[in-house]
Amino acid sequence: DVKVTQSSRYLVKRTGEKVFLECVQDMDHENMFWYRQDPGLGLRLIYFSYDVKMKEKGDIPEGYSVSREKKERFSLILESASTNQTSMYLCASSLMLGANVLTFGAGSRLTVL
């Protein structure tokens, strides 16, 4: 069964800490995405990557960066976590861009104190 695995389901961090959220997919997909999910706001795209070492900003990239050194792994980095980054973070992958179906991970719930 194809999978997108997010390394941490729950994290609690302090304001100002550097936070890494890791995502691995085993489907040999070209594209990977990081979304943020907040009540009443739905899913909003933070960053996506269409190839190794390639990335593009989504709708809300401020305060985040990403890294994709290998095809199967896409990391979301919060350089200095703030309380307004408390949220559910969802990683997804797809074979192609455009109207391709996304396969999602189970999410990482981050709380910043």
**Closer CB to other proteins, residue 12 or residue 82?**
12
Binding of other proteins at residue 56 (CB under 8 A)?
yes
Binding residue for other proteins (CB under 8 A) from 33, 34, 64, 74?
Answer: 33
Minimum distance of other proteins from residue 16's CB (angstroms): 27
Binding residue for other proteins (CB under 8 A) from 11, 22, 30, 58?
Answer: 58
Name the pairing type of β-strands 10-13 and 4-6. unpaired
Gap between the Cα atoms of 70 and 63, Å rounded? 23
Minimum distance of other proteins from residue 80's CB (angstroms): 26
DSSP annotation string for 75-104: EEEESS--GGG-EEEEEEEESSSSSPPPEE
Binding of other proteins at residue 60 (CB under 8 A)?
no
Rg of the chain over CA atoms, in angstroms?
Answer: 13
Binding of other proteins at residue 104 (CB under 8 A)?
yes
**Closer CB to other proteins, residue 48 or residue 112?**
48
Gap between the Cα atoms of 36 and 27, Å rounded? 22
